Amino acid sequence: MARSSRLDDIPGLPARRAALRLLDAVLRRGEPLELALHGAAQGLAPADRALVHAIAAETLRHLPDLDALIDRATRQPLPGDAKARMVLRIALIQVLALGTAPHAAIATALPLVDGGPRKLVHGVFGTVTRAQPVLPDPPALPQEVVARWGEQWGEAMPEAAARAFGARPPVDVTLRDEGETALWAERLGGTSMAPGHVRLPEGTAIPDLPGFAEGAWWVQDIAASCPARLLGPGEGRVVLDLCAAPGGKTMQLAAAGWRVAAVDQSKKRLERLRENLERTGLSADIVQADLRQWQPGEQADAVLLDAPCSATGIYRRHPDVLHRIGPRQIAELAELQAALLDRAAEWVKPGGVIVYATCSLERAEGETQLAAFIGRRPDFAAVPAGTNELPEGVPPTPQGWVRTLPDTLEGRGGTDGFFVARLIRATTRV
């Protein structure tokens, strides 16, 4: 215990130890990076927490490239889950991506080996850094991801995904009043690709911008704005926004004149939704519930189901999904989505509309899911999305779905990967 306390007196070591815990939580236990951060960095100052997040996120972004450097410097490959490999990843990413001096990186790395092969770690680190390597741009995607996406979408898709992975994602905002699109595009110095949308210049500091404090807009990727766009004006009708938090779609629907019931299981995420509604001056009925048990009091005019999914479509901002998500997780989530779709279908009035969406690049969570649902429920039929309903450069598929891929809006900053489908319920059961 005394030895551990003395080690933690080394400047910067607690943050590196927390980064090691965080990467272990993501890579070994499959926990999402953002959720695992709180536990891994507990007790650290905000600046140290930010460093922990940066080390872990950049390690995950460049994991295949870091491992290639390590493997070229070792006679026998280190096991993928070996502590020595993990410590080397942390030390090298600081030098190669975060600007840390090599002596500082290794000084805070060796104590993390904790009785392991310190000599090996020191030797491999020295061999790699003396060669002064540069990390590839764009970063390499994990081979299993390349294979999976290539099989689903063709060989060009993983290449586009890698290019998108190497670029900083833009910041999109959705406006409370789409009639002021030109005004806010000018005030924010951005460009618009749809009514109610502005894409901001790179590096913009969000809270300092005009309109943020008074709730004139909120941050929302342009692809994530598409599901609510397909429901159009509410005109006082009732919509169930399922899996609603943190509230981007809820606010869109409320701003469009819908009476919104926003349902989500997470108390913490619903607190953010409440804060967002308060800031924007919009209103919705908020319900904390598990959709697998919850039932609405009556059927609604429309339902928006932003279903729990693999989140592989937001890999640019969340590189951990590339390492946490595989065929087993995708299959489990697709099963949950099917169950939620079947429940939500009963909550739509005859003649009403359901919009199904996932921020996923997996067909099992999009195209295949919807085909199976329509097969089960012939009383639902597709209502194709029109080009006038979608942002510039986001065309509907031949089936009328919305599918954004890594090359969507390429050259204009790109967008998240999304699948969106709109269905109408027949007035009589088929």
Residue 243 assigned as binding residue: yes
Residue 67 assigned as binding residue: no
Residue 349 assigned as binding residue: no
- Residue 181: CB atoms within 10 A of its CB come to 16
Residue 285 assigned as binding residue: no
Residue 350 assigned as binding residue: no
Q: Is 359 a catalytic residue?
A: yes
Residue 150 assigned as binding residue: no
Catalytic residue among 359, 364, 385, 409: 359
Residue 226 assigned as binding residue: no
Residue 264 assigned as binding residue: yes
Sign of CA dihedral 80, 85, 90, 94: negative
Binding site membership for S-adenosyl-L-methionine: which residues? 243-249, 264, 290, 306
Q: Which residues form the catalytic set?
A: 359
Residues annotated in a binding site: 243-249, 264, 290, 306
